[in-house]
Structure 1
């Protein structure tokens, strides 16, 4: 009986053995909008084939890995080579490829950084216009570090608004309508930098953004993911967004643009902060600062107090603009270069501040005010080297008068007084368990010392007083 019992236990252990091959396979999707069940309608919006009233659906299942893998291919990331047999022609119309094709049709071409790097080695692509080497004015746009090259806001490209509006396609089209200067009717050169796709994917032979890097194919659905290995995943001189921006300013722009071309620099979100930090470098500003015609920071959080290079501060006052999220209408003047203490918004940018017309999302600011933001670049270019940003009169947000505030809040006290006690919310403080235990121990020690002191002085207590001390100690 004893041996039989041992055999049963041994069999039981073997029964629940799990092999690596038994792990669930990582989901695979085609990088094709049609095969994923969607189509692009006449308004340039993506809708579901089965029900055109629906846009792209991220929450395909309750499994986050499945949802991320679908989004990975929906946004246009190709399968690793070779692709699964059932998807032998995986890339045709995913969003990334649609955007890149449209940009190329507008005369943009990809340039790999570091310059001279072959496509098979770690590199980061940027888009440059065909007239870049001869243009007298060049517009350089640094998108958010979380976005793929060519995208501005996927919440627009994937949904209401359409692909052109939610991508750099609409930005490039607007810039191609402009003159380079009062004497040069040709459009400006354009550089679309790539501060997002800086994680090299060896199997796919392409760089990925942080979101896409977390959704690359894995050995199984339940693997933890890939650790960042600088020897494998880092791109030389472009290891992170600040390094990429520094490389573009220090090496790429001088190499691929005319030495006499003026520069209009636009930064969005964290890229705007990185631009300020890069230009605050004396060497960088001395090399490129004299060429900067305008500096536009969109959704920037860098304070002028953080800057130390005086020529940069002077440039911000003369030819800089900051655009912020604000409830005011688009292009409402919010603050002078010194800021505006009468608004709750951050305005210490060191330059004139305008409302973007977007209340919440930084990624929507350039989309919301695309035309006026870009029109200012042309205005400065036509004005020439003597341009200085005009003084503005900030429009402060409306503040209620004492009478209006009293009328609004007068009923609160009455409502509170009439409210029954059980309905009033209790007010307390969240105290960590360790702190609460320490406080209780100190209180008990204090009570004990108080009792000992009273005994030493010969003070007698009746039973009620002793019981009161015990109750306090228990609390």
Structure 2
């Protein structure tokens, strides 16, 4: 009888969370490339062992996060630990970023990303590939906002709060918060352990246990404590982050407290169905002061739908506000990257409207089609085409499906259709 000891299990692979030590660098195009071969991006399939690949990706993501965070700090943002009042980084916390001079701002932009992306990251497929670090993260958005004005008579840049809906799992061993993806690839006692066992008592942060709790904490604790009471709030929501924010605001008590402060709402890739909302005043706000950018193959900014939806497209349009193409046909995480200029221009236009939220209104838009009523010849019910006037019936051409049509009589031989050998076969016995 054999017994395997814990000490006999294979050790979990270790990789350094540093770009240079991992064999990568940031080139002049701001793209992460291989030091050994500068033409190559990150190579996930380092080995045939899945655990090794996952651990390398974990280290790479951590290195990219360090790069993004250092740049955000260089732009004047500070990391804030939640819940507020934490004095030691060894206590369970969730990190967010906020402008250092937030209390002095008359305009504050709240950014709620997807619950699958690390703090400050938009899309690793862009950050670690074609596009670069700034483009694949919120750095490009922060830079754009810092070049804007806060109002017609306020030339100062707006304040910024970057929420963190993903990193809500606390790791006591690493003394940091992890996303669900990172928790699965985090260091384990061995390479064959099944993953981190997440419990509320050990791995959750007070008042930020879920993404919904985190959104509530941002609005009810961070905003009152870190911003002026009269500061206007502008919201950018991405993917399920936008849906969670809408769920929170779609309450009579909540919206009654915030509707005087929330100036506008940019929804990117959300799927919250307006007909399921309960608060009529919030639905009126969406119609008048919100815009949505969605996945679509149309050019950026193409009008897809008005506030009442568009039944003539397969794109989800029941947002309750004007809907535009985000210029991204496939991935929700890439919508803000592609639609950055359109979103920032819209936010600036709202902020520069005299008296801001009191006077800004979405323009009346309507999406119509030239062929809403099809002629009889194009009626999709082809069983009735013969009832239309002769001059409106589709043309009919007669032909034959016989593949031998057009072959002369002397070619009408079955051997002509047999497979022709490339050359005469020789007698194998003579070879």
Q: So what's the TM-score if we normalise by structure 2? A: 0.85
Aligned to 2:301: 331
1:155 to 110, 115, 125: 125
Larger C-alpha radius of gyration, 1 or 2? 1
Aligned to 2:365: 392
Which runs of at least 4 in structure 1 moved beyond 3 Å after TM superposition?
A: 395-406
Secondary structure of the residue that 1:133 maps to in structure 2?
A: helix
* Pair 414,265 (structure 1): closer, same or farther in 2 beyond 3 Å: farther
Aligned to 1:192: 162
Return the offset for 1:131: 2.3
Secondary structure of the residue that 1:314 maps to in structure 2?
A: helix
Aligned to 2:187: 217
Contact 2:168 2:209 in 1 (8 A): yes
Contact 2:183 2:195 in 1 (8 A): no
1:108 to 77, 85, 91: 77
Return the offset for 1:396: 5.3
1:182 to 148, 152, 161: 152
* Pair 397,130 (structure 1): closer, same or farther in 2 beyond 3 Å: farther
CA distance in 1, matches of 2:224, 2:251: 17
Q: 1:295-444 alignment to 2 at 5 Å?
A: 295-383=265-353, 384=356, 385-394=358-367
Contact 1:249 1:284 in 2 (8 A): no
Comparing both structures, which one devotes a greater share of its residues to helix? Answer: 1
Secondary structure of the residue that 1:214 maps to in structure 2?
A: helix
Count matched residues: 382
* Pair 173,109 (structure 1): closer, same or farther in 2 beyond 3 Å: same
Residue by residue, what CA displacement relative to the aligned partner does 1:211-256 show, whole Å, maximum 9, x if unpaired?
1011111111001112211101011111111111111112211111
Segments of structure 2 that go 5 or more residues without pairing to the other structure are 383-395, 404-431
Give yes or no for the alignment of 1:63 onto 2:36. no
Secondary structure of the residue that 2:173 maps to in structure 1?
A: coil
Aligned to 1:18: 4
RMSD: 2.2
Aligned to 2:111: 141
Aligned to 1:229: 199
Contact 1:143 1:267 in 2 (8 A): yes
CA distance in 2, matches of 1:319, 1:356: 18
Residue by residue, what CA displacement relative to the aligned partner does 1:376-408 show, whole Å, maximum 9, x if unpaired?
1110111122111001232659999966999xx
Residue by residue, what CA displacement relative to the aligned partner does 1:398-455 show, whole Å, maximum 9, x if unpaired?
999966999xxx99x988x98xxxxxxxxxxxxxxxxxxxxxxxxxxxxxxxxxxxxx
1:53 to 36, 39, 46: 39
Contact 1:332 1:395 in 2 (8 A): no
CA distance in 1, matches of 2:4, 2:81: 45
Q: So what's the TM-score if we normalise by structure 1? A: 0.77
Contact 1:164 1:170 in 2 (8 A): yes
* Pair 22,397 (structure 1): closer, same or farther in 2 beyond 3 Å: farther
Secondary structure of the residue that 1:75 maps to in structure 2?
A: helix
Residue by residue, what CA displacement relative to the aligned partner does 1:343-399 show, whole Å, maximum 9, x if unpaired?
111111111111101011000000001011111111011112211100123265999
Contact 1:298 1:365 in 2 (8 A): yes
Contact 1:141 1:191 in 2 (8 A): yes
CA distance in 2, matches of 1:374, 1:38: 32
Residue by residue, what CA displacement relative to the aligned partner does 1:174-195 show, whole Å, maximum 9, x if unpaired?
0001000111000000001101
Aligned to 1:120: 90
Residue by residue, what CA displacement relative to the aligned partner does 1:268-289 show, whole Å, maximum 9, x if unpaired?
0111110110001222212222
Give yes or no for the alignment of 1:269 onto 2:242. no
Contact 2:287 2:321 in 1 (8 A): yes
Aligned to 2:66: 97
Aligned to 1:430: none
Secondary structure of the residue that 1:244 maps to in structure 2?
A: helix
Give yes or no for the alignment of 1:280 onto 2:250. yes
Aligned to 2:408: none
CA distance in 2, matches of 1:396, 1:102: 46
Contact 1:299 1:322 in 2 (8 A): yes
